[in-house]
Structure 1
Amino acid sequence: MRPWKLCGVAVVVALAATACGSGAGDGPGTDQGAAGQGGAGFPVRVADCQGAGTTFTAAPRRIVTSNAAALEMLLRLGAGDRVIGTGFPPGKGALPGGLDAKARKVPVLSKSVIPKEKMLGSGADVYIDTFAAMKTMGGAGDAPTAEEFKAAGIKHLYLASTACAPMADKPQRDLSGVEADIKRLGAVTGTAERADALVAGMRAKVGKVRRAVGDIPAGKRPTYFFFDYDAGTKQPVAFCRKQVANAVIGQAGARNVFEDCDGDVKPVSWEDVVAKNPDWIQLGIRNRGDAAANAKAYDEAAAFLKSFPATKGLAAVRNGKFLRIGSERTTIAGVGNADTVEEIAHTIHPARFKAAR
Structure 2
Amino acid sequence: MDGDSGTAGSTQAAEGFPVTVSDCSGSTTTFAKAPAKIVTSNASSLELLLRLGAGSRVSGTGWPPGRGTMPAALDAQAQKVKVLSRTVIPKEKLLGSGADLYINTFGAMKMGGGGMGDVPSEKEFAAAGIKQLQLKTTACAAKADRPVTDLAAVEEDITSLGAVTATADRARALVDGMRAKVDAVRKAVGTVPMSRRPTYFLFDFDAGTKQPTVVCNRQIAHAVITLAGARDIFADCDDDRRQVGWEDVVAKNPDWIQIAVHNHGSASANKRAFDDAHTWLRTNAATKELKAVREGHLLRIGLERSTIAGVANADTVEEIAKALYPDKVR
Shorter-chain TM-score category? Answer: over 0.9
Aligned-partner Cα distance in 2 for 1:266–1:29: 39
CA distance in 2, matches of 1:319, 1:203: 32
For 1:153, the aligned partner's letter is: G
Please tell me whether the aligned partners of residues 87 and 110 of structure 1 are also in contact (alpha carbons under 8 angstroms). yes
Q: CA separation in 1, counterparts of 2:115 and 2:226?
A: 37
Secondary structure at the aligned position of 2:150 is classed as coil
Q: How does 1:1-357 map to 2 (within 5 A)?
A: 30-34=3-7, 36=10, 38-133=13-108, 142-353=118-329
The answer to whether the Cα contact below 8 Å between 1:45 and 1:56 also exists between their aligned partners in 2 is yes
What is the distance in 2 between the residues matched to 1:216 and 1:351?
A: 13
Q: In the alignment, what sits opposite 1:21? A: none
Q: CA deviation at 1:133?
A: 2.6
What is the identity, as a one-letter code, of the residue corresponding to 2:218?
K
SS of 1:98's partner is helix
Amino acid corresponding to residue 31 of structure 1 in structure 2:
D
Deviations, residues 258-311 of structure 1 (Å, cap 9, x unaligned): 111111112111111111110000111223455444333222212111111111
Whole-Å Cα distance in 2 between the matches of residues 150 and 144 of structure 1?
10
Structure 1: give runs of 5+ residues left out of the alignment. 1-27
Q: Which moved more, 1:184-193 or 1:90-99?
A: 90-99
How many residues of Structure 1 are paired with residues of Structure 2 in the alignment? 327
- The 2-side partners of 1:185 and 1:191 are apart by 8
- TM-score normalised by structure 1 residue count: 0.87
Q: Which amino acid aligns with 1:120?
A: L
Structure 1 pair 290–141 and aligned structure 2 pair: CA distance change class (3 A): closer
Which ranges in structure 2 are unaligned for 5 or more consecutive residues? Answer: none
Q: Deviations over 1:51-97 (max 9, x none)?
A: 32111111000101000011000000001100111000011111102
Letter of the 1:32 counterpart: S
Instruction: Give me the whole-angstrom Cα distance separating, in 2, the residues matched to 1:79 and 1:309.
Output: 49
Amino-acid identity (%)? 61
Question: Is contact 1:86–1:110 with CA below 8 Å preserved after alignment?
Answer: yes
- Range 63-72 or range 212-221, more displaced: 212-221
CA distance in 2, matches of 1:223, 1:273: 11
* Aligned residue in 2 for 1:24: none
Given the two structures, how large is their TM-score scaled by the length of structure 2?
Answer: 0.94
- Give secondary structure in 2 for the equivalent of 1:128: strand
- Structure 1 residues 43, 276: closer, same or farther in 2, change over 3 A? same
Once residues 86 and 283 of structure 1 are traced to their aligned partners in structure 2, the CA distance between those partners, rounded to angstroms, is 26
Q: Which amino acid aligns with 1:62?
A: K
CA distance in 1, matches of 2:35, 2:136: 19
Q: Distance in 2 between matches of 1:85 and 1:228?
A: 28
* RMSD, aligned α-carbons: 2.0
**Contact preservation (8 Å) 1:115, 1:140:** no
Instruction: Please state how far the C-alpha of 1:139 moved relative to its aligned partner.
Output: 9.6
Q: 1:126 to 1:290 in 2, by over 3 A?
A: closer
Aligned equivalents of 1:247, 1:140: Cα separation in 2? 25
